[in-house]
Amino acid sequence: MSPSSSSLPDRAIVWDDHHLQLLDQRRLPGRVDYLTLHDARQVAQAISDMVVRGAPAIGITAAYGVVLAAALRFAANPQSWKSAISEDLNLLAAARPTAVNLQWALERMQTLMQSLPADNNPQASLLQEAQRIHAKDVADNHTMGELGAALFEQKSAVITHCNAGALATGGYGTALGVIRSAFAQDRITQVYADETRPWLQGSRLTAWELLQDDIPVQLLADGAAAARMAAGGIGWVIVGSDRIAANGDVANKIGTYGLALAARYHAVRFMVVAPTSTIDMHLSSGEQIPIEQRDAGELLRCGESTIAAQGAGAWNPVFDVTPAGLVDVLVTEKGIIHAPNSEKMRELMG
């Protein structure tokens, strides 16, 4: 698709007949291009290469990847597709290790596969399940948006980090879902979006999304957020998450931890917005969350241009962990937790 439209597409993830189409987020905001994917290997590569990113969106994409894999495996050998597909599942699972929604979606698809007859084409049943996962994510985002917006006691500006909007989810967004709902209710005066080095999701994606909805946004260099809080007028920092441990520790885009520390010092409230599929009750604390390390070149270069001194190395973790003690509010589709801890998390998750 050529950049014929500057408006935000209804979906960054689209099932088209027997194929999967992904909005290529690496090209935004300059171009609106979709990639058509035909098999699990292409889907895994798209996840790894950040064609699609954001924990909920990664999980949804992986679910559709299973649909593609099952169709191809059944066509090749209807008698052994269930065993043959394990290779595809492993490939998808390894694409991005931190985002727990990926494994959650794959486990849900595997549970359904186990119940299907071995000699019937599984594509229709698996597609229905992937579409249910997709639709529920959108509905949950709207629910979280309303819950989070209701927490605003007075009209204020907010800061957000990375992109937790429609592009990172099935639609509407987690952190940006709250911002969209709160702005519609005249509770937000201004959004400040961290640029979010090194992939610049704040500059390229969050600013673009907000402008499509006529929500005023100003960009911040990542190091400017504390000074902006000190200047006053910021009521909330609102972020998403890629994985939340059983004690409420939050893994999110690198820089979130520092933002939480600055927020606590300046008495700015810190809100995390995430579906319960992002909560990993198998991990007792954030220390156990696997943190993905990416290519040092992402820091050493900007596009095709080298910006670092020759010979310099780079430490490039994609995520950091914000301790639960710095989180004022966790908003999920099941409800809100104030000052999350292990006991409150167990109560929420039942």
* Parallel/antiparallel/unpaired status of strands 305-306 and 269-273: unpaired
| Cβ atoms within 10 Å, residue 18 | 11
Our measurement of the distance from residue 145's CA atom to the centroid of its chain's CA atoms, rounded to an integer in Å, reads 15
Residue 119 falls in the annotated catalytic set = no
Residues 6+ apart with CB under 8 A from 161: 193, 194, 196, 202, 225, 237, 239, 252, 253, 255, 256, 259
Distance CA 339, CA 198 (A): 30
Catalytic residue among 24, 39, 242, 249: 242
Q: Tell which phi-psi region holds residue 182, choosing left (phi > 0), alpha (psi between -120 and 50) or beta.
A: alpha
What is the DSSP-derived secondary structure letter of residue 203?
I
Find, among 160, 48, 161, the residue nearest to 99 by Cα.
48
Burial class (CB in 10 A: 0-12, 13-18, 19+), 61: buried
Residues carrying an active site annotation: 242
